[in-house]
Amino acid sequence: MKIAFGTDEQASLAQVVTEELERQGHEVIVVARGAQWPEVGRAVGQAVADGVADAGVVCCWTGTGVSIAANKVRGVRAALCADAETARGARRWNDANVLALSLRLTSAEVAREILAQFLGAQPDPDEAVQIAELARFDDGR
């Protein structure tokens, strides 16, 4: 899987995330590093929306800013996740395609668990109608 990655600062967790993604066999495409968090979220979101990457991972101090910024890109469903079960649910029930992580709160071990669940889960086909409903929001209706 191709994973777009971005972080607004090169904290140790950012290194852990890219190493873990590569260890899991993913191709990591670093699209933003050290940029302001709005640009990080937008760049990763755009890479996913344009099909350059299959999914994305964004990081900032809280994870909130990059999540908000990524969600401004049409077609992106970014989820800020602090644990593996939330990450699994975000993929399964919300078809999230960008994972946001907090550089402040996420330990290396928890990040590994989150990445495994987020990238290992498959969207639930029963949720497709609700996911499609989100496109109406993009159209401003």
Query: Which positions are annotated as active-site residues?
Result: 60
State the average pLDDT over residues 48-61.
98
Sign for the pseudo-dihedral over CA of 25, 20, 84, 45:
negative
Q: Do 114 and 83 form a contact (C-beta atoms < 8 A)?
A: yes
Number of H helices, E strands in the chain: 6, 5
141 pLDDT above the threshold of 50: no
DSSP letter at 131 equals H
pLDDT at 18: 98
At 21, the amino acid letter reads L
Interatomic CA distance for residues 92 and 30, integer angstroms: 25
User: With contact defined as beta carbons under 8 Å apart, do 104 and 6 qualify?
Assistant: no
Which position has the higher pLDDT, 72 or 131? 72
- pLDDT of 55 reads 98
At 81-126, the pLDDT tens digits run: 999 999 999 999 999 999 999 999 999 999 999 999 999 999 998 9
Contacts 24+ apart (CB under 8 A), 129-137: 131/77, 131/94, 131/95, 134/77
Quickly list H helices, the chain.
Answer: 12-23, 37-49, 64-71, 84-94, 108-120, 128-138
What is the topology classification, in CATH, of domain 2-138?
Ribose 5-phosphate Isomerase B; Chain: A, (3.40.1400)
Q: What percent of the chain has pLDDT over 70?
A: 97
